[in-house]
Chains A and B, each alone.
Chain A
Amino acid sequence: MKQIQLFAPLLALTCAFSAYADEVSVAVAANFTTPMKTIAADFEKDTGHKAILAFGSTGKFYAQIKNGAPFQMLLAADDETPARLEKEGATVAGSRFTYAIGALVLWSAKPGFVDDKGAVLAKGDFEHLALANPKLAPYGAAAMETIAKMGLTDKLQARIVQGENIGQAYQFAATGNAELGFVALSQVMKDGKIGSGSAWIVPAAMHAPIRQDAAILANGKGNAAAEALMKYLRSAKATALIKSYGYTVE
């Protein structure tokens, strides 16, 4: 009997909880995959709301959202796509904000191959340089900008191989098919430092900032979980985690 008395308030709490708990379906840019998985797990634990994640390229998400995909929130890899969706009335106006600013890194699976100034690019001691398609992926565009700033565009053009997104650029470099790759720092960062291989963290001054914006989509209007997740992304706990993957936040 005593046990039941003890449990009763707990039970009531759980019921109350589930009554308020909501689900939000989120489209997440590929480069934000690892941090977002942790954030979503914490979010569910801390708020009781559930975030269902889909990972992919921002361009593909745009096409799907415009054609009725049931996403309620978008964490894009750029700031242009959310702005465009907002202009087209596909987002909840005013919900858009920058959740992370990405960092670019020149990475090789081989330890000691990349120096801390990126001089390996000029030396040209490699066959292939992987990067994300600059037309589609902001990290690819930032990589091309960096190469141009170093004056190496003509020299390197023939060695560039493109992944359709930053995940594939990493794959090319990780399998050793490309000796070098421009990838997102978040992909090679583990516990606050470079996990394996060798890397040059490209200084932010080498390219336009990779601002990654989030927005609530028209579908998610009035969804409590979507609003809670937007707030949660700005919480101290989430921003600390985002930073630990090499992003900066505003």
Chain B
Amino acid sequence: MLTDSDYSAIRLTLELAGLTTALLLVIGTPIAWWLARTRCWWKAPVSAVVTLPLVLPPTVLGFYLLVAMGPNGFLGQFSHALGLGNLPFTFPGLVFASVLYSMPFVVQPLQNAFNAIGDRPLEVAATLRASPLDTFFSVVVPLARPGFITAAILSFAHTVGEFGVVLMIGGNIEGKTRVVSVQIYNHVEAMEYAEAHWLAGGMLAFSFLVLLAVNFFNPQGKRVSP
């Protein structure tokens, strides 16, 4: 059945997806809020950049990340200046790449949820002298709850399903960068089909349950985008 190396890959994948989701909720919320409220002309370009990972092949993202995070790339020089060293082949490097990769899956549902709230509740809160921050946490967050849940589930699931980017910058190191999708790939390549089936079947069941959960939290089929 599952080997130690499989379990290590599962643990690593859950850590990566959990940390990425937590970071994305922190980073993605202000971005989504800004996108939902602003009338600034560069809303469109910012929105396009945030959505890019949705349409770019992971090979493009992986290739540019490998070059940019390398010792001669601008991200590599930045991480060296911060004393973090090289990011490719490390867990922090994977987290950074996953945050970029899963960003649209957090920003879009949140933005939709914020849009759906509209101006009215905010105006009411303002007349009751609530500060903007207070309004956000006492009015917006509870109203946008389904959006947050959808964003968290989709970001977690999408990071679990990440493959191409990890393959290109991970280096296949057990316990550090060898996630489940890469482990399945290794099994298939090594013609270990029985082992591949166990993990791949698990992944299939997991993905089905996740989508079921998203629909459960959005019974009318609202806000399931993207």
User: A interface vs B, CB < 8 Å?
Assistant: 57, 59-60, 62-63, 127-128, 130, 133, 135-136, 160-164, 168, 171-172, 175-178
Residues in A whose Cβ lies below 8 Å from that of B189: 57, 59-60, 63, 133, 136, 164
Q: Are B186 and A136 in contact (CB under 8 A)?
A: yes
B153-178 vs A, CB cutoff 8 Å, 1 = contact: the mask equals: 00000000000000110011100000
Q: Which of B126-182 contact A (CB under 8 A)?
A: 167-168, 171-173
B62 to chain A, nearest CB (A): 10
A171 to chain B, nearest CB (A): 7
Say yes or no for B92: interface residue by CB 8 A criterion.
Answer: no
How long is the Cα–Cα vector from A164 to B89 in the complex, in angstroms? Answer: 13
Known: A175-B67, A177-B88. A162 touches B190 (CB 8 A): no
B96 to chain A, nearest CB (A): 14
Say yes or no for B217: interface residue by CB 8 A criterion.
Answer: no
Identify which of B26-34, B35-43, B47-55, B68-76 touches chain A. B68-76
How long is the Cα–Cα vector from A174 to B191 in the complex, in angstroms? Answer: 29
Q: What are 19 residue pairs bridging A and B, where the CB atoms are less than 8 Å apart in the complex?
A: A57-B189, A59-B190, A60-B189, A63-B188, A63-B189, A128-B171, A130-B171, A135-B186, A136-B190, A162-B171, A162-B173, A163-B171, A163-B172, A164-B167, A164-B172, A168-B168, A175-B66, A177-B66, A177-B70
Q: Are A176 and B188 in contact (CB under 8 A)?
A: no
Say yes or no for B86: interface residue by CB 8 A criterion.
Answer: yes
Given contacts A133-B172, A177-B70, 15 further A-B contacts (CB under 8 A): A59-B188, A59-B190, A127-B85, A133-B186, A136-B189, A136-B190, A160-B173, A161-B173, A163-B172, A164-B172, A164-B186, A172-B88, A175-B70, A176-B72, A177-B66
- The answer, among A59, A60, A161, for a CB contact under 8 Å with B171, is A161
Q: Are A161 and B172 in contact (CB under 8 A)?
A: yes
Q: Are A164 and B185 in contact (CB under 8 A)?
A: yes
Q: Closest 4 interchain pairs by CB? A: A161-B171, A59-B189, A162-B172, A177-B88
Name the residue on B nearest A137 (C-beta).
B189
How long is the Cα–Cα vector from A122 to B167 in the complex, in angstroms? Answer: 28
- The answer, among B66, B86, B168, B185, for a CB contact under 8 Å with A128, is B86
Most A CB atoms within 10 A — which of B86, B173, B189, B191?
B189
- The answer, among A60, A136, A168, A176, for a CB contact under 8 Å with B71, is A176
Residues in B whose Cβ lies below 8 Å from that of A168: 167-168
Q: Are B86 and A177 in contact (CB under 8 A)?
A: yes
How long is the Cα–Cα vector from A209 to B106 in the complex, in angstroms? Answer: 51
Most B CB atoms within 10 A — which of A160, A161, A162, A177?
A177
Q: Are B172 and A63 in contact (CB under 8 A)?
A: no
How long is the Cα–Cα vector from A174 to B89 in the complex, in angstroms? Answer: 15
A66 to chain B, nearest CB (A): 9
How long is the Cα–Cα vector from A133 to B67 in the complex, in angstroms? Answer: 21
Residues in A whose Cβ lies below 8 Å from that of B72: 175-176
How long is the Cα–Cα vector from A109 to B11 in the complex, in angstroms? Answer: 35
B66 to chain A, nearest CB (A): 6
Residues in A whose Cβ lies below 8 Å from that of B185: 164
Name the residue on B nearest A63 (C-beta).
B188
Q: Are B190 and A135 in contact (CB under 8 A)?
A: yes
Residues in A whose Cβ lies below 8 Å from that of B171: 128, 130, 161-163, 172, 178
